[in-house]
Amino acid sequence: MRHSILLTLCVAGTLALSACQKPGGNDVDRAFQNVNVVDETNLNDVMLEVADPNEAVTYFQRASKEQPDRIDLRRGLAKSLVRAKRHAEAISAWKKVNAHEDATHEDKVDLADALIRNNDWDKADAVLDEVPPTFETYKRYRLEAMVADSNKEWDKADSFYETAVGLTTKPAGVLNNWGYSKLTRGDYAEAEKLFADAIRQDDSIFTAKNNLILARAAQKKYAMPVLPIDQTERAQLLYTMGLSAVKQGDTEIGKGLMRDAIETHPQHFEAAVRSLRALEQS
């Protein structure tokens, strides 16, 4: 921050010196305005990326009220509302962005995203239909895949997921979603492959690891695969596998997996203890 302030002062000092050397105060005024715009842009980015979501909402509400014609401030408010998980308000904000004369196809995609987050699937589908097919982005195809999933249009979903994977350098999230889609269809082997791919792309996604265990257990594969996990995660995955085994009628295997989970967990694993006790009593 000190570097930013120093840079601004240096620029201001240089402009002031040039103003003393030659006439043209209006030019200096415009230069000062440009410096202020740069500073404001940086602040907007900070509010969007690292600030508390609700604080960002307050900031952009005030800023967009003061300058209602600026679409970047409207976008900032809409994105902040999404970050704050205030989805109904986010939908309203994105609609106002899209009503602006400078709205883009990306703004429409962001509106569809907000609608999906609010479980308004039919409306999201209708909004995405308004986006021309020539607008090809990762986010657009990821949302198209999710909507196709919700409509059980499996071939379309697979096509959209595949396209989305090819349009990003970080496909772990969409691979996990695609795997979950396969899991819900009962295609457990393909789901297992997709979850494994997601973990290879980003081994920090615990959801993908848990889903991988579910896909394997559905095939009665009860051996723990080699995964980058800590002791707590291993215990949780063993517990997931145990529950899946019991669900499929392999009760004794499930009990053994739960005992392993309890022994593995570095602390008291209340959920596993309670489940095992219920099984043994029954």
How many angstroms separate the first and last alpha carbons of the chain? Answer: 63
Amino acid at 1: M
Q: Which segment of 14-28, 125-139, 197-211 scores lowest on mean pLDDT?
A: 14-28
What is the CATH number assigned to the segment(s) 40-102? 1.25.40
The most confident of the ranges 10-14, 51-55, 79-83 is 79-83
Please state, as a whole number, how many other Cβ atoms lie within 10 Å of the Cβ of residue 230: 9
What pTM does this model have?
0.80
**The pLDDT value given to residue 44:** 86
| Structural domain spans, the chain | 40-102, 229-282
**The pLDDT value given to residue 51:** 85
Flag whether pLDDT at 33 surpasses 80: no
**Site of tokens 């895949």:** 145
Q: Which residues of 20-48 are buried (b: 16+ CB within 10 A; e: fewer)?
A: eeeeeeeebeebeeeeeeeeeeeebeebb
Tens digits of per-residue pLDDT, 88-139?
Answer: 999 999 999 999 999 999 999 999 999 999 999 999 999 999 999 999 999 9
49 — pLDDT class (breaks 50, 70, 90): confident
**The pLDDT value given to residue 4:** 43
Q: What is the mean pLDDT of residues 46-69?
A: 92
CB 176 within 8 A of CB 198: yes
Q: What is the DSSP letter of 269?
A: -
**The pLDDT value given to residue 103:** 97
Q: CA 209 to CA 202: how far, in whole Å?
A: 10
